[in-house]
Amino acid sequence: SIPIVYCLMEGKTRNLYNSVFNFLRLNLLASVNPSIIITDFETALRDTLSFFFPNARTVGCWFHHNQAVWKNMKRRGYLDLTNSNPNAMKALRMLLALPLLPSADIQRAFDVVRIFAINHNVPMVDFFEYYQNFWLRRVGVDALSVNGLPRRTNNSVESFHNALRLKFNVVHPNLW
């Protein structure tokens, strides 16, 4: 991945993204028609990308999925459970692997993981509800699946952002 455009923004709203991509589409990227776009799960950005690149498949970054699922598991207080109960850890790892499946198989595989957790007395019902409601319903299996993609993350972009952040020595620098 090679950055071709840098843009400093004051926020992450759909209107701001629309303004940026409208400018880019008209002035720099008129003939660019990507088939796949890998991004994080930010709704405003994903909606904008889908609008400006309607023929592209917008896919979520597998790393960001796993990071968000792990943080949610910890926030719900299941870290000790997953560290002490091998079946809880196995269920968590199976959830983290769901995006590797074809989109048509993800819901069925999720149901298998949930049944595994129930059958092995893994008390994480609310965590499975979160996964069902957010990842499978809101994000959707088509955006979740990275199956068959040569790249499953946008880590090269994240590495660049991290290096830039270290140069500024603050998370959100004020350029003025």
Q: Per-residue pLDDT tens for 133-174?
A: 999 999 999 999 999 876 645 545 555 555 555 666 666 666
pLDDT score at 29: 79
| pLDDT in the model for residue 151 | 66
pTM summary value: 0.80
Distances (CA, A) of 77 to 123, 127, 136, 145: 11, 10, 22, 27
Which residues are within 8 A (CB) of 116 and not within 5 positions of it... i.e. 6 or more apart?
A: 87, 90, 91, 94, 122
Is residue 113 very low, low, confident or very high in pLDDT (cuts 50, 70, 90)?
Answer: very high
Q: Give the amino acid at 14.
A: R
Beta bridge partners of 153: none
* Burial of residue 59 (number of CB atoms within 10 Å: 0-12, 13-18, 19+): buried
